[in-house]
Chains A and B, each alone.
Chain A
Amino acid sequence: MPRPALHLAVELDGDGAHPAAWRRAAHAPGELLTPRRLTRTAAAAENAGFTLVTLDDSILPPASGTDPVGRIGAVERAAFVAASTSVLGVAPVLATTYAEPFHVSSQLASLDHVSAGRAGWVVGVEDDPAAARAWGRPLVEGDGALAREAHDGLRVVRDLWDSWEDDAVIRSVATSRYLDRKRLHSIDFAGETYSVKGPSIVPRPPQGRPVVLARAGLVPAGLTDVALVGGPTAGETAAAAGTAAAAGAPLAFAEIEVALDTPREAAGERIADLERYAPWAGRSDRLRYTGSADGLVALLAELAGKVDGVRLLPLVLDEDLSVLSRLVLPELFVRRLATRPLPGSTLRTSLGLPRPVSRFAAGPAADADATAALVREETR
């Protein structure tokens, strides 16, 4: 049986995954914050054949030592990238720890509209107390409370996406009605710390719901589309994907930090150069690959069939993205280990995910069935 192809995602925030990546960028530091640079990086990712780019974010600047690095909000970057590309999926990080879930829902639904169905969402968490001060909100503290805010936020956001049925805009000239109010729904969310009324102000997104990605274990797997998993080794990464699937995650992507040999320098030398300024701290929930393009292809071949996709976090975008696009992705496509997204596809289609029906839609199915399906989904 042919193994299902890997889905390929890449993280595009900043100049790369290393905190000192900007020192090896192919542009002056301030150029990072220009539309031209964003357009170029996104075009490189799209042309290389990635299905999805993710964009990290926080209200706090990413720190480099004690001095902040500039960063434009991920939703704004994602919308700009969506408008300057045609098949690339775009998934900003957004945390509902302090942000209003109502705004988060509108922003992501709008991103799905401006991208004609290419939006994703990486569910984030603001766990630094400085974020509470920057927002001017009471501190949310402890893993339990942070998880509760993430979970409640995700439920509100999803319900708001569902609050307009697909065909709520009827434009009935005969009855003079633009909307059918029966196809619009209050969500009446009442959580532990807040409530939200609804419906959304944004019509249902083209994908029904933008694709939700979340670190495995942060929120109930059944409420997400893609679990982001990893481990110190390929074996542990594959095992983490298995755990996520068992918990009900439709897809699991391995997170892999990559530093590749370039024509001029070995990956190890490139890392050593940057380590003079700041350490590249390892994370136990992420695999790290250092070496040749061939070696990365071999690693991905080993993971294919065990994970559904990978999210690559390149050491330095300007350097690694070019090796990925010249040597790694073409080889994966030739060997049918991965596929490029097809023009006109939504992100869900590219990922082989079904388009969800609104949980509020009465449709031809009986209400009771819809509720039963929801209960299954929520408790899986």
Chain B
Amino acid sequence: MTRTDPTDVPRPDARLHFGVFFQGVNHWTIWSDPSSGSQIDPASFLRVARTAERGLFDAFFLGDGLRLRESEGGIHELDVAGRPDSITQLSALAAGTDRIGLVSTSNTTYNEPGDLARRLAGLDLLSGGRAGWNVVTTHNAWTGENFRRGGYLDHADRYRRAEEFLSVARAVWDGWAEGAVAGSAEARSWSVPGAVGHVRSRGAQFDVDLAPTLPRSAQGHPVIFQAGDSGEGRDFAARNADVIFSAHGTEFDDALAFAEDVRGRLRAVGRPEDALRILPGTEIIIGATEKEAEEKERWVRLEQVTPAVALGIASRLWGFDLSGRDADGPLPAEDPVVAAYTGTFGTRSVKDPGAVVAEWRARAEANGWSLRETVIELGPQRGHVGTPAGLAEKFARFARHGAVDGFNISPYLVPDGLDDIVDLLVPELQERGVYRTAYTGTTLREHLGLAPVE
């Protein structure tokens, strides 16, 4: 293996930033293995967060989903489901960790800015400036049935609401002047008169008038993350975010193209290119040798895509129930039917099933794949497989060429799935000078090397 010459790359001093994404809902977290633990026990969260902190990660992430997923006419049963409210869980982790950032994915469609901004500011203070907010909208009106508002907003209006939401949140976080709290018990009042402002906002989405209840934290504001891949989503990130949680981190060319696209959007809105960190979600499978890593990957994929999972995914693609078929046999001979209802119910949605099935057939025939193998091979690409040294070389290249600023890693096992990465990969990265050897700051903003909040 040849080592990249660090002087011959656009970003010789690049450092990788790692986050851990504690997935609550998916079929990628293997639950069937004896070593897999509870997905809800607080001990699982603490174990993962502390391991990540030992590995000098920037952040611990939680996702969000406000309705339990459905498939085949009922609650989706096959995969991990059920998770805590993220800000509540992260507030507990604030007490059990020292340095790692604590990032909550929170939806702007079914929250209100005065309330959510306050909750995030509280987490930020309790953690000494380690809070982050992954701003998401939602795809489906179906989620709205759990809220007073009902279905409520069209997809087209969701980023508009998100943008206005964020500007109210920022006003709430900026509501207290520096030194707004009295210095001593003899002062005229607890807060310096006039130092706590009022936030009044009347826009298309909100009509609010409130007195913010908290001063700034050690990092000023919670760090803003964005996850959403459309042009609108990327523009929203370019205008507003500190970090993008992307889905482009497996193939180098794809990652670089995404990063270039984002940098173009940053330039277009007048922000410096280094104002934003790009951390794609990924999975990392490590083996002592390339062969061992491949064998491990095979095991991981078969555990993730069980015959039932494969048939479930195929049922949603074909548009009718395929349970009872042989997942290890050929693809169903029938043509897919286009479902009348195009909602996702939180599970997979396919825009043009005919075209996808045709592609699957062609690839399966050419390679001799079973249905299950086809689902594994042609499903979303899941990340990186290799030896610690090989992966470290690869990641150094990704970072030094500006394709990514790091990764948001989803362990395929909870709670021990990060151990290999922290114990084996991190030292290799450190040796190559592409990963920190100690935390140099105390806040999430400092970990990410972001400019201070004005």
Residues of A within 8 A of B (CB): 22-25, 28-30, 33-35, 38-39, 59-61, 64-73, 75-77, 79-84, 98-103, 106-107, 109-111, 113-116, 130, 133-137, 164, 168-169, 171, 173, 175-181, 184, 193-203
Contact of B114 with A196 in the complex, beta carbons under 8 Å: no
CA–CA, A377 and B119, complex, Å: 34
Contact of A79 with B89 in the complex, beta carbons under 8 Å: yes
Residues of B within 8 A of A80 (CB): 91-92, 94-95, 126
Contact of B92 with A79 in the complex, beta carbons under 8 Å: yes
Considering the complex, give the chain B residue whose CB is closest to the CB of A169: B82
Contact partner of B122 among A77, A99, A173, CB < 8 A?
A: A77
Residues B267-326 near A (CB distance < 8 A): 306-309
Count of chain B residues with a beta carbon within 8 Å of a chain A beta carbon: 78
Contact of A23 with B185 in the complex, beta carbons under 8 Å: yes
* Least Cβ–Cβ distance between B166 and chain A, in angstroms: 15
Contact of B92 with A83 in the complex, beta carbons under 8 Å: yes
Contact of A72 with B83 in the complex, beta carbons under 8 Å: no
Contact of A107 with B42 in the complex, beta carbons under 8 Å: no
CA–CA, A175 and B32, complex, Å: 11
Residues of A within 8 A of B183 (CB): 28-30
| B42, B146, B189, B206: residue with the most chain A Cβ atoms closer than 10 Å | B146
CA–CA, A75 and B86, complex, Å: 12
Q: Is the interface of A mostly helix, strand, loop or mixed?
A: mixed
Contact partner of B185 among A25, A72, A113, A180, CB < 8 A?
A: A25
Considering the complex, give the chain B residue whose CB is closest to the CB of A170: B77
Residues of A within 8 A of B84 (CB): 106, 109-110, 113-114, 202
CA–CA, A23 and B207, complex, Å: 36
Contact with A along B89-131 (1 / 0, CB 8 A): 1011111100000000000001111110011011101111000
* Least Cβ–Cβ distance between A66 and chain B, in angstroms: 8
Which of B62-70, B403-411, B419-427, B441-449 lies at the interface with chain A? B62-70
Considering the complex, give the chain B residue whose CB is closest to the CB of A114: B92
User: When A39-B95, A107-B85, A194-B148 are in contact, do A201 and B187 touch as well, CB less than 8 Å?
Assistant: no
CA–CA, A77 and B75, complex, Å: 33
Residues of A within 8 A of B207 (CB): 136
Contact of A33 with B125 in the complex, beta carbons under 8 Å: yes
Residues of B within 8 A of A (CB): 31-32, 40-42, 65-68, 74-85, 87-89, 91-96, 110-115, 118-119, 121-123, 125-128, 145-148, 150, 176, 181-187, 189-193, 196, 206-215, 306-309
Residues of B within 8 A of A197 (CB): 67, 145-146
* Least Cβ–Cβ distance between B310 and chain A, in angstroms: 10
| B76, B95, B176, B209: residue with the most chain A Cβ atoms closer than 10 Å | B95
Contact of B112 with A136 in the complex, beta carbons under 8 Å: yes
- Nearest first, the 5 closest Cβ-Cβ pairs linking A and B are A176-B308, A134-B210, A110-B84, A83-B95, A79-B91
* Least Cβ–Cβ distance between B84 and chain A, in angstroms: 4
Residues of B within 8 A of A116 (CB): 42
Contact of B181 with A29 in the complex, beta carbons under 8 Å: yes
The contact sample of 14 A-B pairs, CB cut-off 8 A, is A29-B182, A39-B95, A60-B213, A67-B189, A68-B196, A68-B211, A79-B88, A83-B91, A83-B93, A106-B85, A136-B208, A171-B31, A200-B68, A202-B83
Considering the complex, give the chain B residue whose CB is closest to the CB of A136: B208
Contact of B77 with A110 in the complex, beta carbons under 8 Å: no
Considering the complex, give the chain B residue whose CB is closest to the CB of A196: B146
* Least Cβ–Cβ distance between A204 and chain B, in angstroms: 9
Residues of A within 8 A of B91 (CB): 75-77, 79-80, 83
Contact of A76 with B114 in the complex, beta carbons under 8 Å: no
